[in-house]
Structure 1
Amino acid sequence: MLWLLLAVVAIAGTRNAGWAQSEEKPPINAAASPRPSPAVSPQASAEPSPTPPPPPYNRLTWRSVGPAISGGRVAAVVGSARNPKLYYLGAGGGGVWKSENGAATWTSVFEKTRIASIGAIAIDPDNDDVVWVGTGETNPRNDVIAGAGIYKSTDAGKTWTYMGLRETQQISSIAIDPRDSNRIVVGTLGDIFADSPDRGVYRTTDGGKTWQKTLYLTPSSGVSDLKVDPKDFSVMYAGMWHFRRLPWTFTSGGPDDGLFKSSDAGATWTRLSGHGLPTGLTGRIGLAVAPSDPRRVYALIESKDGILWRSDNAGADWTLVSKNTLVDQRPFYFSHVDVDPSDADHVYGISEMLSESKDGGKTFREIADGVHVDFHAMWIAPNDPKRAIVGEDGGYALTLDGGDNWSFSENLAIGQVYHVGYDDETPYRVCAALQDNNAYCGPSNALNPNGIPNRDWENVVGGDGEWALPDPTDPNFVWSDSEDGFLSLYNRRARQGRNVSPWLSTSAASFNISRARYRFNWDAPIAFSPWNPGTVWYGGDAVFQTTDRGESWRPISPDLTLDDKAHQQPSGSPLAYDVSGAEYTDTILDIEGSPLHRDEIWVGTDDGLVQLTRDGGRHWKNVTPPHLEPYGRFEIVAPSTLVGGTAYAVLDRHYLGDRTPYAYVTHDFGAHWTSITQGLPSDQPLRSIRPDMRDAHIAYVGSEEGVYISYDGGTTWRPFMPGMPAAPIFDLRVQPRYNDLLAATHGRSLYIFDDLTPVQEFGRATAARDMLFAPRPAYEFSLHADEDSTYTKYYAKNPPRGAMLSFYQATPGSSPPAVRVYGAQRRLVRTIAGDRCVEKKPQPFVTNDAGLNRTTWDLRENGPVRWNGAAREAYKGPRTGAYVLPGTYTIQMTLGGRTFSQAIAVRPDPRVPYTAAQRAERHAYSEAALGKFSAVDAALNRLDAVIASAQKAATANASNATLSATLDHTVARARDVRGELTADYHNDEDSIQIPGKLREDLQGLDLSGTGGPPTQAERSLAARVAAEYAAAMRDVSAFFASDVATANRALAAARGAPLSESQPAPKLDCATDESG
């Protein structure tokens, strides 16, 4: 089936504009001939504005939850010839990533530019620290995102400098002269949705300070590929390609397209034609020049005459060597070719499958079994042909043995999510429907101390996942869909899915949907009735309804679209059809029922309509905002959960060449609409919108770059992206019980903003100047470390363990505030203050910033006294006490001179079936053990202080033999008593060579305070340890009453000070701390 085989994408993406508003660019010479244009400086291309200061909620951040088990589209890959561990890759919607350990782990290095789409990456052949990135991928599916120029790093990706070419939008190629790093040639495809003069070949001879456009044909033709002779930078080849995308189709190929050659390093160009090249129209062209014999050139050409051509004399003559479609399955989406650096006959076809030929392109065979299909990029080490990295729809794959074995992308959260789903379990699960990577459901909190591993994600549908929503009546069932209206109901317990589509089309009807009974968008929506969760809706051109989990369906609407038959013809022209379902139009994109009014259903279509029924589908009304041009996409129409008649909508028109953001709100069921875009970047299309579920004045909108928030019902917007990289936001949902905001990013997988309370209360907090927010209930979850043993280990972030405590202060305090937790009868349970070690650096437990802050109470009590003299930090004893019993506690903070208090409910782990009495038994058991532990460590600290003091006094009184002898005896006795308390281990394996003492026995008791009642064996051990404790503490008391007293009398007789029984608390030493 098509849904299992194709790598196809939906929902349009566009150019990321950073925080800047659009700026006019001075015109440059754009003559319709391949002649150079005057030099253009980077500034003339409207450099994106720098990121503004962090907003006041910068301490509250989004967290990435994955999944990384299946990546997203990687459009650019490159490695280092010098350093076999160094690689960079560029994702279609996920930015630039760097690995310095052979792809074992990756670091995102491009986030500060606020640009998500990457088209090309090049490492300076003379210096690995110099890296160039061309933004805007050139695989122009309907979810392609525009870039914003070319960037350069001179410090191996730590920082980036904008170097111009912003308006070119999509950059396909970068070539750097190995003998002169200031000479760079760039191939740009340009805007794929509108005519533009900003496309073609650009050249710089001063390192990017100025650029010349040296090859330009028409406002709709740009560079699909550009390759350079590896031995002579003056010789290079470029493929020129006309491509235009519309909401309902695309065209690939035009009369001006073709192959060009330069012999003067890109300064001038000559069209190559005839001499064996195809005649007639051509489309996308992929190129490769053999490093071992640069006279050998391969050209993969979209043409009706063939597929792969070869020249053996540097482009003078050409031979058609292959018509095998394996080499180029879908020319507009793939069309790349590469050559073994050591063998000009060994050529790779980079298409749906990765294939190779060892006879100069005459015959090909598939390789890279097991690697995700749909390849877009390949880099082969010039000094080691067996080492290569490829980019594909599933991420990347790396081989070190010429393709016999591959390591896969399982450690990059660059999934291109269409929509996010969630259930209401504790903790709740989220679902991510991924472009060409199935749909997965996994935990929002894995209850694994390492984080959320890949293994916790469950595949619920194959193909291109668009929606995956747990059934609200039973989260064991997950509704998922993929292209062409394929709807699946997955049973998690049975691990089985079944087709529950309301309509199944024939192949002929799917190929030409103007003849189909029903039409379904690539991103056909699923929705549940708020007033009857057993009712499910599915969108085609009509709304379908089932009440029996898909056994039967009935339409509850007529065709709600424009039904323009001219837009329903097979897509792709003029060289070849490409009917994947991604261009299906005149369909429904969103269905949402109002939770306030039964039978109220809102619908948004992909041809620019908003439809409403208030009687369950018996009657429908077109309530589209007035004066809109047709064919825009109403991606989301979201009714308010708080105010009747209110709905928010976003319209996307970037497919029509219009990047303006469109957002609307109605308060009277669509009779009147108000445009609400103030504060949004003027060239970022919008993809999603969601009103808050607790404050009717708050709304969230998702753009091509990220999330924005409004506190005044959409009148004004401000960025809401703390901790979130740039990425298109295709969906926003609020998990109502947890009050979390969920974001489906199309390039960085799923993100969660935990507990919106401080955001929702922000206005009230700023008016009060200081505020401690009411925390949500906290669960004492039991964690289990389930190690992921894969080579490319990956863990996403859990929420903080325990209770999240958020507060606001207008100005920082004179010192960081402290948190105090009280139990019943105002008993102080915990104080949270001071510093802790985080990644070997001291960080305050409680931040002290102006604005919103957040800290965490781990639900433990204050810890016991710690033994400062232990050999290692980890051996000094527990930092915290037992977990508190479930119940209600009081959080107290002093802010701005005022004391604030909030109650918090602590709840037990719902998976653990102990009674309150059983939990209390366990807690009392641990508390008793911790009390003894604290007393022992306090005694050890006293003994250490006496030893140090006695040694110092003995040195000072060395001439007094009697006193010195008394003090030496005291030191010896103190060491003996200390030896009864602890074995004083210095290393982990000491315990198998030295028997433990009282302190080690106490460590063998459960100190956590969680779980069921102590077992008989635990009680027996505790009783024996208690007897050991009583005897040891009697010796401690006797030592201080006798030996220390005797020494103090001797010191007094010699007019000396008594022995000290305390020492200053040691300073926090993060350099040696083993906890983080």
Structure 2
Amino acid sequence: MAISTEEVAQSKNISVAQVQSLCRSRGTTNETLAALPEAAVRRALLRLDFPDLPTARGLFRVKQERSDDGNVRPHGLGEAYVQVESLLSREAPSMTAGVPTGLNGRTRRAGPAPTAGMQLSDWVWLGPGNIGGRTRGIVLDPADPDSIWAVSAGGGVWHTEDGGAQWAPVDDFLENLSCGCIAVDPSDASTMYVGTGEAFHNIDAIRGNGIFRTTDAVAWAPITATQTPDFQFVSRIAVSRDGTVVLAATSTGLFRSADPARATWTRVLGHPLGDVRFDPLDSDKAVAGALGAGAAWFSRDGGLTWDLATGGPWSGRVELAYAAKDPDIVYASVQMSTGQIWRSQDGGASYTRRKTLTPDGLPSDYLGGQGWYDNAIWAGDPTDADLVVVGGIDLYRSTDGGDHLAEISTWWEPTSVHADQHAIVAHPSYDGVTNRTVFFGNDGGVFRADDLATVGTEPEPPFVNGWTELVNDYGVTQFYAGAGHSGSGKIIGGAQDNGSLVFDPALGTQDWREFFGGDGGWCASDPTDPDVFYGEYVFLNIHRNTDGATTEDTQGDRYISGQFFNFATRDWAWKQVPFRIPDAKNENALFIAPFVLDPNDENRILAGGLSLWRTDNAKQPNTPVDGPAWRAIKPGAGALISAIAVARGNSDVVWVGHENGMVFRTANGTAATPAWARVGATGPSALEPRRFCTGITVHPTDPDTAYVTFGGYERGNLWVTTDAGAAWTDLATALPRAPIRALAVHPRRTDLLYCGTEVGLFASEDAGASWSPTNEGPTNCSVDDLFWMDEVLVCVTHGRGMFQIDLSTIP
């Protein structure tokens, strides 16, 4: 029986308007909201204040890639990887600053251990082995369906030979690990293509560098002709049935290649495209969908020429699917405001709208408010052209050609399917009768439904029956930052769309747990109390955990930046000054905004928005009316704060970096009103970059020595001063021209430096005068953070989870 909006509002003690907003934003139904647990209701209400997180996430990442002129250098990423290859080829196998470097690992495949052929000799992969990451594409070997490939947004191409029981990366030294799609040649399953970069406006991982190909399902190589700006964001690849023609949909148009070497690519459509498909039975026919312009095209000559399809008017991204039973039927999932299904009866030449209703006859908002980000459609049943599956935040099944949609997954239930759907692929033996197995790729990894007809058919939410998670060391989690407690060994990390996570060494890599939902950000661990951790939601919303990160925030009372859930009004509210950070309330902060725990005083936190905020009682009990008190100790400088560092042993020395490259220092940071001076702006040895300051690291024993890192595909992304900022030296002359995101100084051997870049980790034994590329562990993945647990270095990646290496035995 249908549940009315008024009934949901009454049962959850929220307003009708809130129910309507939740349904629209989450792409869900009244029935699902009625089953929503109380804690999930509060989290969902909070997200209403941040309606377009994927866009904000993408803009944040782009800021870190821009050069001084505000643009991202077109060939920057590809050139950086070429530089890495050159450095590796010139260096003999060795150990540099305690980590393996040089060419030795070039032929190895580093990754989660232990896996056959994958054992790491020095680095230890920490996981998460049970929490995946954004997966944009999946293909299966028709001759061996247990052999599956998946591509991740930040962690490259992964392969399993046992149906998902164990995964491993195919090659950690691919020139690009940001993958947007994968396609298999229907005429030869050993030939596959991977498109790099994500064209769906959420460029929060790394830019692409063309298309990669394998012809033996083992060795991958770039297609040189695609390593151009036209192929920075490849959203979909289609291969004709006979394998002769390849079509690539990119952010700059549709490209076609018909020569076996794929040496020639011709632009055949000049519109940004998100999808392209060949007719599964006829290689002369193909369809393509717009990336954001609300249009579709069709071809009748193998993709040589294209005509605009009729139908609409449409808006936004258009995803397409041929019906396997009758390819004259083509379905379109059109972004619009919250999603519409359209159907063509003439092979994609014209479309008519389907009803797109819930089983109760109400409009189905199946894409929610982010169909540009997660939008997938499938009609691959060879026995039923009316069976359609669509995915937005959740998955929906239609048995009448898109007129009515029933939810079959539930985003808030851990035993269902993770939110944000990107790929739907049938088992090669799917026949609609004896085999109805389908695979799904989403922001949580890879999932399987063994019977598409019965999965998620419970009478009411949550829909969990029939779903199987296939993460199992599919280690592609995208972390932004991390922290750990040396005594307990626990590590926490803030992850893209997977919340704030905790690793307990007693539980292992397969048991990472979420202790705060949403997007995770910067982290801190109280060195004096193993039970106290700090994490962050977006825009400087700092939260505190006091039970060793063993439980989630179920009452909405763990924010110490000022937010709290008002049970009287059933909505989120803000405390009065001084018990809030005004920049957090007003979103005057970066999407992932920096905060640090003073290494000399566990009661002091510094947090950066437009101003720099400080609390000196971080452990103050938190209530709806008080808690830690905040005050601004550095006024705004016209650009958001992007990096903060406090000198170990001297809390008065504080360094602050901004998104426009400005760096400030104070020598009385504990004063009520510290005096700040901009450093490096002028002089013969000035700090040159005028781009995003990604990090500041203060020397462990000398507060006048600091290392500053910058974004952009440029030289000069690492600088050092030894005189409190009066003079600066460029340490990046031997490093690739890529964003540098983190730097760590060995606590005891301070001449040993470790540098995290967009293209992997580098080590130096001479205080940065020379650098060596590492050959295992993080390899070519973006390294976003580095931190110490005593003399164990933990490497936090944006696409491969976390790694650690024990450097305590260095003489």
TM-score between the two structures when normalised by the length of structure 1: 0.58
Q: Is the 8 A contact 2:319 2:375 kept in 1?
A: yes
State the SS of the aligned residue for 2:400: coil
Distance 1:388 1:47, change over 3 A: farther
Q: Would you say 1:300 and 2:333 are equivalent positions?
A: yes
1:722 aligned onto 2:722 = no
1:122 to 183, 187, 190: 183
Matches of 1:173 and 1:410, distance apart in 2: 23
Gaps of 5+ in 2: 1-42, 67-71, 102-120, 357-362, 411-415, 457-465, 565-570, 576-581, 621-626
> Aligned-pair distance for 1:645?
1.2
Aligned 1:68-467 pairs, distance under 5 A: 68-160=129-221, 162=223, 164-167=225-228, 168-179=231-242, 181-189=243-251, 199-217=252-270, 222-241=272-291, 253=292, 258-272=295-309, 275-278=310-313, 282-303=315-336, 307-321=340-354, 322=356, 324-327=364-367, 329-342=369-382, 343-369=384-410, 370-381=416-427, 383-384=429-430, 385=432, 386-402=436-452, 403-404=455-456, 405-411=466-472, 412-425=474-487, 428-443=489-504, 445-446=505-506, 452-455=508-511, 457-467=512-522
What displacement does 1:397 show? 0.5
Report what 2:619 is aligned to: 549
Q: Deviations over 1:770-806 (max 9, x none)?
A: xxx4xxxxxxxxxxxxxxxxxxxxxxxxxxxxxxxxx
Greater RCO between the two (CA within 8 Å, min separation 6)? 2
Q: Which residue of 1 aligns with 2:462?
A: none
| Structure 2 residue matching 1:327: 3-state secondary structure | coil
Give the counterpart letter for 1:491 in structure 2: T
Go from structure 1 to structure 2 and tell me whether the alpha carbon gap of 1:730 and 1:48 turns closer, same or farther (over 3 Å shift). Answer: closer
In 2 relative to 1, CA 148–603 (structure 1 residues): closer, same or farther, beyond 3 Å? same
- The 1:102–1:140 alpha-carbon spacing in structure 2 relative to 1, beyond 3 Å, is same
2:148 and 2:163 in contact (8 A); partners too: yes
Deviation at 1:291, TM superposition (A): 1.9
For residue 417 of structure 1, report the CA deviation from its aligned partner: 0.9
2:678 alignment partner, one of 622, 632, 644: 622
In structure 1, the residue matched to 2:11 is none
Q: Please give the alpha-carbon distance, in whole angstroms, between the structure 2 residues aligned to 1:661 and 1:169.
A: 24
Does the CA-based 8 Å contact 1:329-1:352 persist in structure 2? Answer: no
Kept in 1: contact 2:238–2:247 (CA 8 A): yes
Q: Does 1:635 align with 2:694?
A: yes
Q: Deviations over 1:679-737 (max 9, x none)?
A: 2222x2222222332334332221112111233433443313434332111101122x2
**TM-superposed deviation, 1:97:** 1.0
Encode CA deviations 1:421-477: one digit per residue, 9 max, x unaligned: 011216x2222221111222224x54x8xxx3423x343322212133221120111
C-alpha distance in 2, partners of 1:102/1:504?
Answer: 44
Distance 2:336 2:518 in 1: 29
CA distance in structure 2 between the partners assigned to 1:124 and 1:94 by the alignment: 23
The change in CA–CA distance for 1:128 and 1:419 in structure 2 (over 3 A counts) is same
Alignment deviations for residues 526-555 of structure 1 (CA, whole Å, 9 cap, x no partner): 312123222222333222313241522222
- Structure 2 equivalent of residue 588 of structure 1: 641
The Cα shift of 1:416 comes to: 0.8
> Unaligned 5+ residue runs, structure 1?
17-21, 26-41, 190-198, 242-252, 563-585, 759-772, 774-1076
Distance of aligned partners of 1:286 and 1:757 in 2 relative to their CA distance in 1, 3 Å threshold: same
1:528 aligns with 2:597: yes
Query: Which one-letter code corresponds to 1:621 in the other structure?
Result: A
Matches within 5 A, 1:697-776: 697-735=751-789, 737=790, 739-755=791-807, 757-758=809-810, 773=811
Residues 1053-1075 of structure 1: CA deviation (Å, up to 9, x unaligned): xxxxxxxxxxxxxxxxxxxxxxx
- Aligned ranges for residues 825-840 of structure 1 at < 5 Å? none
Match of 1:792 in 2: none
| Distance in 1 of aligned mates of 2:645 and 2:182 | 42
Amino acid at match of 1:482: Y
Question: Percent identity between the aligned chains?
Answer: 26
Give the structure 2 partner of residue 876 of structure 1.
Answer: none
Q: Which whole-Å deviations, capped at 9, do the CAs of 1:470-515 have from their partners, x for residues lacking one?
A: 21120111111112333221122674644233233998999xx999
Matched AA of 1:546: D
Q: What residue in structure 2 maps to residue 902 of structure 1?
A: none
Q: Deviations over 1:569-601 (max 9, x none)?
A: xxxxxxxxxxxxxxxxx5333321111433111
- Bigger drift between 553-562 and 642-651 goes to 553-562
Aligned-partner Cα distance in 1 for 2:283–2:716: 43
Post-superposition offset of 1:396: 1.1
- Which whole-Å CA distance do the structure 2 matches of 1:295 and 1:48 have between them? 48
Structure 1 Cα separation of the partners of residues 302 and 84 of structure 2:
29
Following TM superposition, by how much is the alpha carbon of 1:88 offset from its aligned partner in structure 2, in angstroms?
A: 0.8
User: Which among 580, 592, 610 is matched to residue 663 of structure 2?
Assistant: 610
| Contact 1:15/1:169 (8 A) holds in 2 | no
Say if 1:460 and 1:480, in contact at 8 Å, map to a contact too. Answer: no
The one-letter code of the counterpart of 1:356 is R
Letter in 2 for 1:650: T
CA distance 1:258–1:121, shift in 2 (3 Å): same
Q: How does 1:851-862 map to 2 (within 5 A)?
A: none
1:183 to 1:700, Cα distance in 2 relative to 1, 3 A: same
Report the CA distance between 1:94 and its aligned residue: 1.0
The alpha-carbon deviation at position 185 of structure 1 amounts to 1.6
Q: 2:729 is matched by which residue type in structure 1?
A: T
Residues 608 and 641, structure 2, Cα contact 8 Å, conserved in 1: yes
CA distance in 2, matches of 1:609, 1:84: 54
- For these two proteins, the number of residue pairs brought into alignment is 668
Residue deviations 1:734-783 (CA, integer Å, cap 9, x gap)? 22x2x12211101110011221654xxxxxxxxxxxxxx4xxxxxxxxxx
- Distance in 2 (alpha carbons) for counterparts of 1:362 and 1:711: 65
Matches within 5 A, 1:767-846: 773=811
Deviation, 1:516, is 5.4
**Cα RMSD for the two superposed structures:** 3.4
For the 8 Å contact 2:257–2:266, the answer to whether it is kept is no
Deviation at 1:418, TM superposition (A): 0.9
2:32 match? none
How big is the shift at 1:24? 10
Q: Give, in whole Å, the separation in 2 of the partners of 1:318 and 1:527.
A: 54
User: Deviations for 1:74-93, whole angstroms, at most 9, x for unmatched residues?
Assistant: 11112233333221100111
Match of 2:20 in 1: none
CA offset at residue 615 of structure 1? 0.9
Give yes or no for contact 2:338–2:366 (8 Å, CA) kept in 1.
no
Quote the Cα distance in structure 1 between the aligned partners of 2:530 and 2:559: 17
Rounded Cα–Cα distance in structure 2 between residues aligned with 1:742 and 1:46: 26
Are 1:644 and 2:730 counterparts?
no
Residues 789-826 of structure 1: per-residue CA shift (max 9 Å, x gap):
xxxxxxxxxxxxxxxxxxxxxxxxxxxxxxxxxxxxxx
Q: Distance in 1 between matches of 2:312 and 2:679?
A: 55
CA distance in 1, matches of 2:273, 2:249: 5
Amino acid paired to 1:363: H
Counterpart of 1:599 in 2: which secondary structure? coil
Contact 2:563 2:574 in 1 (8 A): no
User: 1:1034-1071: CA deviations, max 9, x gaps?
Assistant: xxxxxxxxxxxxxxxxxxxxxxxxxxxxxxxxxxxxxx
Deviates more, 1:344-353 or 1:389-398: 344-353
Higher Cα Rg: structure 1 or 2?
1
User: Residue type matched to 2:531 in 1?
Assistant: N
The structure-2 alpha-carbon separation of the partners of 1:88 and 1:69, relative to structure 1 and needing over 3 Å to count, comes to same
Superimposed CA distance per residue, residues 41-61 of structure 1 (whole angstroms, 9 cap, x where no aligned partner): x99x99995752554123863
Question: 1:672 deviation in Å?
Answer: 3.1
Report the CA distance between 1:631 and its aligned residue. 7.8
Could you tell me how far apart the structure 2 residues matched to 1:306 and 1:123 are?
A: 29
Structure-1 separation of matches of 2:574 and 2:617: 27
